[in-house]
A and B are shown apart, each in its own frame.
Chain A
Amino acid sequence: MVVGADVRDVGDAALVVAIGRWREDALAEAYRRHAGAVYALACRVLSDGALAEEVVQEVFLRLWRQPDRFDPDRGSLRAFLLAHAHGRAIDALRSESSRRKREEREARSTAEAGYDLEREVWDLAVAERVKDALVRLPAEERRAIELAYFDGHTYREVASLLGQPEGTVKSRIRTGLRRLQVRLVTYGVTGTGAEP
C-alpha cells in the first residue's frame, strides 16, 4: 500500500507490510477482518470465553511484533492467524491446569453431538458452502476432523475415542481435508477473507 492509503482499501498482504511499519490502524484493520474468526475458533476449542480472549490478544500482539513471520506465498493471513490461535488454544487445553475443564467439556460435548454452524457467519455464502462440503464428507472422516480440530484431540486420542486404528484415523483426517479442499474449490470458495 502507498503511504497514507486507507487501510480499509488494501489486501491482507499489504496490511501486514503496513503493520511492519508500525501502523496501528493497519493492525486494527487486520483485527476487524479476522479477530471474530480467531475468537470463534479459540472459544470452540477451549469452551472458555476468557481464555479465548487471551488467545485473541496473543495472536494479534504476535502479528504486531513479528509481522515477517507471515509469508503470503505460504497461504492467507486468515489461515496464518487461525493456525497460531489453534496452536495456542491446544497448548492451553493440554496443559495440566485445564484438565478438569476439559473433562467437563467432554461430558458436555457428547450431549451436543452434531454439527453446529448455526452461529452468525462472517460470510454466509462461504459458510453455507463449507457446511455443505462438511456434511457431504464420509461421516467417519468428518468426525475425525472435528474431534481433532475443534475438540483438540491428537489423532491417537481420536483413534481410541472412536475405537479405530491410529493409521486409519491419520489417513481419514488427511483425506477428509483434501476432499474438503477440492469440494470448496469446485464450489468456487478459494479464499479466507483476504480481500477487504
Chain B
Amino acid sequence: MTHDELQSLLGAYALDAVEDDEARDVERHLRECPRCRAEVANHRETAALMASVGAEAPAGVWDRISAALDDDPLPDTAALAPRPGSPRGRRRLPMRVRVAAALGAAVAAAVAVLSVATVRLDHRVGTLRRTILASPAAQAATAALIDPLHRDVRLTSADGRLAAQVALRLTGEAYLVDTDLPVLDRGRTYQVWGLAGGRVVSLGLLGATPVFAAFRVEDTVTQLMVTSEPAGGVPAPDSPVLIQGLIPVRA
C-alpha cells in the first residue's frame, strides 16, 4: 500500500472499521510514521468525545474487578518499578510501608526515578491540548484562531445551506477552520478565489477535503469565493460560486 492509501484508512482504522489485513498494514506503518500516529491519536480523542455520554458504571462490576485483583499475578510494570517477591497482599499495603520493607539502595534509586517520572507525567496532563492538536495543519489553524488580531471571514452559499469560516491573520495567512463543504469525488478540488480591485484571482487549491486548508490572502483582496474545479485547478473560475463572503475591514 502507498502512503496515501494507508493515510486514507486512518479514520476508519481509528474506529476499528477496517479489515484485519488492512489493520495489520496500518499498524506496521504507524510504528515508523509519527505523523500518522498523531493523526490516529487525534481521531481516537474525537471518538472518545463522541462516546463520552452515559454516566454511571453498572453496579457490581467494580466488585468483580476488585475480586479479580486478588487472584491476579503482579501487574506488568517492569519498566516502572522493582518487582517485589510476594505479590499477594503486598499490593494493599501503603506505598510507604512497601518502600520500608523493600531492601537495598536499588529500590530507593528506583523510587527517585519514579518521582521524576511522576512530575513529568503530571505536567503532561496539563498539556493535553498539545497532544490533541498534534497535526501540523491543525496547529497552524488553531494558532490563527487564537491570535487576537485574526479576522473571521464567514462564507455562505446563496441559499444559506453551506457555510465556512476562514481565520485570516494580519500576515495574510488564511485557514479554512470550519466548513460544511462535502468531500469531493476523486479528480476534483475546491479552489479559493479573491476579489481584488474588480478582478478575480486564484488564491489556491483547497483539495477535496478542505478542513484545515491553508492559503494566502493579499491586502488588496476584499472578498473570498470558493468553487469546485477539476484537480489541478483552473486559471479562472469555471463553475458556479459555492460559498462567498466579504472580508471584514481591519479593526
Contacts and interface: CB of A to CB of B under 8 A. Distances in A.
Interface stretch (B45-53, B193-201, B215-223, B235-243): B45-53
B183 interface: yes
Majority-rule SS of A interface residues = helix
B52 A66 contact: no
A186 to B, nearest CB: 6
Nearest to A58: B65
A11 B15 contact: no
A126 B53 CA distance: 9
Nearest to B7: A174
A148 B55 contact: no
B131 to A, nearest CB: 6
Interface in B177-215: 177-180, 182-183, 185-186, 208-209, 211-212
Contact of A155 (B18, B44, B90, B128): B18
Contacts of A72: 121, 124-125, 131
Nearest to B186: A167
A185 B137 CA distance: 13
Interface in A19-33: 19-24, 27-28, 31-32
B11 A175 contact: yes
Nearest to B211: A178
Given A4-B96, A185-B133, A86 B182 contact: no
Contact of B75 (A65, A80, A138, A176): A65
A157 to B, nearest CB: 8
A117 B68 CA distance: 33
A138 B180 contact: yes
Given A37-B52, A154-B19, A67 B133 contact: no
Contacts of A83: 14, 44, 47-48
B53 A56 contact: no
Interface string A154-170: 11101000000001111
Given A1-B122, A175-B209, A68 B178 contact: no
Interface residues of A, number: 105
Given A22-B91, A35-B62, A182-B138, A148 B41 contact: no
Nearest to B57: A35
B250 interface: no
B44 A148 contact: no
B141 interface: yes
Contacts of B121: 11, 13-14, 16-17, 72
B14 A177 contact: yes
B16 interface: yes
Given A17-B117, A36-B56, A182-B177, A192 B125 contact: no
A79 B14 CA distance: 11
A56 B123 CA distance: 28
B52 A193 contact: yes
A148 B52 contact: no
Interface string B92-105: 10111001000000
B143 to A, nearest CB: 11
Interface string A111-149: 000000101111100110010001010101100010011
A195 B124 CA distance: 11
Contacts of B126: 11
Contacts of A171: 8, 11, 183, 208-209
